[in-house]
Amino acid sequence: MQGVSVPRTLLIAAHPDDETVGAAIRISRTPGIRIVHVTEGSPQNPADALAARFPTREAYAVARRQESLRALALANVPHDAVTNLYFTDQKVAFELESLTFRLLALFEQTRPQIVLTHPYEGGHPDHDSVAFACHSAKQLHQLEHPDAAFDLVEFTSYHADVGGITSYEFLPISNRKEFSHVLTPEQRQLKIAMLREFTTQQKTLEPFMQPEIEPFRPAPHYDFRRAPHLGRLFYEYFDWGMDGGTWRDLAHDAQHHLLKPIVGAA
C-alpha cells in the first residue's frame, strides 16, 4: 500500500462484530480507517448478558467492546481508531434523529471519502436504523457541504431466509452492481481468527465462520417507508419490542423532521 493514496474511510456498524462480519479484510487493507460502533452491544433486557454469564448488561457491554478491539487489532487497527456512540442495542429505531445528527457531526469532523455501512434488509432493526441514519446524514451533509461529497458503500449483514438467515449475500436489487473480494487462504484465516475473538457471540456468528468472499455495493436509494422484502422480517421472530410496521413508522416520522430543509430547498 506504500505510495498508494487510500481514500479516507469511515465504517459505521450497529454492533461490535458487525464490522468484522461485513468487512474484516477490507478493514485490514485500509490504512487509517476509523470504526464507529453505534451501540454498546448490550440490550436493555439483561437476558443476553445473563446467558453469557455476565452479572449486568454493563459488564456484558464492556466485554463486547474488548472483543472488538482485540479482533480489530489483528487487522492492525489501533484502539484509538475505534469509537462507540453508546446507543442501546435493539433500541436505535427510537433514536433515529439523534443518531443522524451524531453521524452528521462525524462526517463534518472527519470529511470521509468513503463511508461503509449496513444495507436495509430487515435482518436486525439496529442495522436498518444505522442504514437510515447514514442515508439521512449524507443528504444533510451534501446540503451543507456540496463540495465534500463522499461515497456510501454497503457491506453485507444478514437477512431472513427459509429456516434461518442468508450470510455474505445482499438482498438482490435490480441494476445495482456488486463487487466481491474473494478471500485468499491467508485472508480467510485472518477473518476467522478475528471472528473467534468474539467469544460471547460464537453461537450467533456460526453462519459466518466459513467466509469465502466479502461483497460490497454502492448504497441504493431506499424508500424506508416500504418493507425491504416481502414476508416476515428476521427480527420479527424475536421478542425485541419491534416489528417492521413500527420501524417504518418511526423512520417515516424521523425522515419528515430531518429532511424538511431538503424538501424546502427543492
- What average pLDDT does this structure show over 37-63? 96
Mean pLDDT of the chain: 94
Q: What is the pLDDT of residues 103-127, one digit of tens each?
A: 999 999 999 999 999 999 999 999 9
What pLDDT sits at residue 259?
80
DSSP the chain: -TTPPPPPEEEEESSTTHHHHHHHHHHHT-TT-EEEEEEEEEESSTHHHHHTT-SSHHHHHHHHHHHHHHHHHHTT--GGGEEEEEEEET-GGGGHHHHHHHHHHHHHHH--SEEEE----SS-HHHHHHHHHHHHHHHHHHHH-TT---EEEEE--EEEETTEEEES-PPP-TT---EEEEPPHHHHHHHHHHHHT-GGGTTTTGGGSS--EEEEEEPPPP-TTS-SSSS--GGGGS-SS--HHHHHHHHHHHHHHHTHHHHHH-
Fold of the CATH domain 9-265: Rossmann fold (3.40.50)
Would you tell me the crossing angle of helices 185-196 and 57-74 to the nearest 10 degrees? 160
The model's confidence at residue 1, banded by pLDDT at 50, 70 and 90, is very low
Give percent of the chain with pLDDT exceeding 70: 96
Q: Read off the pTM.
A: 0.95
The model's confidence at residue 70, banded by pLDDT at 50, 70 and 90, is very high
Q: What is the pLDDT of residues 166-186, one digit of tens each?
A: 999 999 998 889 999 999 999
